[in-house]
Structure 1
């Protein structure tokens, strides 16, 4: 089920934890090589409604990253508390890396401008697979497109797939971004700073920005 539907959090969570030890270790090492990544590992910030005032994000100016994230949550009826806890990772450091990955997933959606429909999920999974090496991300990226209809399959092959691969390879290591410090940043400038290429599809961008 997790292979065919990358929107199934429960299946993906179990698969990710039981197959991702080497990737988690590599992610931790890569975060340790980055100044901001080390700070994240030391401070271990959490993203939930106890640490984040979602309503305040909604009051931020249009075009800010925080406003974009608020739109993502409010439009889709999501909450930062919805991400599942980690159950099958015993190492405390790797436990946090998995938890952090899980909690910033919606932030990846927001900064990339990807809705949480199947096409958007598959695109984000490609970026995550190339950035993290997590097997479950790669499996979701490979098998998720099997659920796309003909119209979305065409857009996926012509636009979303090459765009996602470029961002996965060229963007800064997104796990080493202290996202909580960027709520007030201009979204377009943040993308430039992270070397994220906007999707060359105006209709997809309008999903959040309108």
Structure 2
């Protein structure tokens, strides 16, 4: 998940608590809640498909990181266009017929194949955020601020395609390492550390730390991806997009046997928290 933060207040924020950045109103920074984050990360380790916990953990530890990202984003031509027009990336990425019409080998076609192969949709990410109390659909005092985080969150699977990291537990963790390097959001750190420790306990002989460090270096050395015009990149060959953005192949990750990656952190609980809550509500 990207730099998720509670970008839409559930209650009206008084004017004196609003901080203006780049001519746009932004909400107060959320409090740092380390215990809440720890509980969410443990739940995530028990079931890596419980995407809600990523939103919960990152939001609990982000502090002012979101404001720093927003300031940098709106200072770029593309970022300003995203928040002002706005550019609705969730709609662009949901138009599968348009993606399917793009050239074979293009970034857009690779993204489509990834999403269809994994049975994923941008709406699914938005739903997971909603389960964590992050409302991307309702009214908000902070439309530009929320637009940034919606843009970043639905970019998560695009970054999987760009980096070459799969949806296995190590691939997800490496994608978060890459994201952490790009966004400087401290909210990902706890997920990364606990995830790596859990993997090392399962398979102590594998180079998981090296793979994570490689992902971090890739994120630091790449162009700043949030400032890139995604819609313009989608029709281009994936290899060309990677070269433009200076994204190299994840050699350490790729060298780890697929069967090892596939079996890492198998879910120890079969249902997500949202499913358990829904069943409890129906039973009540």
- The one-character-per-residue Cα deviations of 1:113-172 (angstroms, maximum 9, x if unpaired) are 111110101001111111112232222222222332317x614234x2232011111111
Q: CA deviation at 1:72?
A: 0.9
- 2:166 aligned partner: 115
**Secondary structure of the equivalent of 1:154?**
coil
Higher relative contact order (CA 8 A, sep 6+): 1
- 2:148 aligned partner: 97
Asked whether the equivalents of residues 180 and 216 of structure 2 are also in contact (C-alpha less than 8 Å), the reply is no
The TM-score normalised by the length of structure 2 is 0.63
- 1:42 aligned partner: 84
- 1:199 aligned partner: 250
Larger mean Cα displacement after TM superposition, 127-136 or 189-198: 127-136
Q: CA deviation at 1:64?
A: 0.8
Q: Does 1:87 align with 2:131?
A: no
Give the 3 Å change call, closer, same or farther, for CA 161–202 of structure 1 in structure 2: closer
Bigger fraction of residues in helix: 1
Asked whether the equivalents of residues 41 and 57 of structure 2 are also in contact (C-alpha less than 8 Å), the reply is no
Q: CA deviation at 1:173?
A: 1.3
| Structure 1: runs of 5+ lacking an equivalent | none
User: 1 CA distance for matches of 2:177 and 2:195?
Assistant: 10
- 1:150 aligned partner: 203
Q: CA deviation at 1:90?
A: 6.3
| Structure 2: runs of 5+ lacking an equivalent | 1-38, 259-284
**Secondary structure of the equivalent of 1:184?**
coil
Give the 3 Å change call, closer, same or farther, for CA 15–93 of structure 1 in structure 2: farther
User: 2 CA distance for matches of 1:49 and 1:97?
Assistant: 14
**Secondary structure of the equivalent of 2:188?**
helix
Q: Kindly name which structure, 1 or 2, has the bigger radius of gyration based on alpha carbons.
A: 2
User: 2 CA distance for matches of 1:200 and 1:77?
Assistant: 26
Larger mean Cα displacement after TM superposition, 67-76 or 88-97: 88-97
- The one-character-per-residue Cα deviations of 1:35-63 (angstroms, maximum 9, x if unpaired) are 22222222232233577321332343332
Consecutive aligned runs of 4 or more in structure 1 exceeding 6 Å deviation: none
Give the 3 Å change call, closer, same or farther, for CA 113–190 of structure 1 in structure 2: same
User: 1 CA distance for matches of 2:92 and 2:103?
Assistant: 23
Q: How does 1:6-25 map to 2 (within 5 A)?
A: 7=48, 8-25=50-67
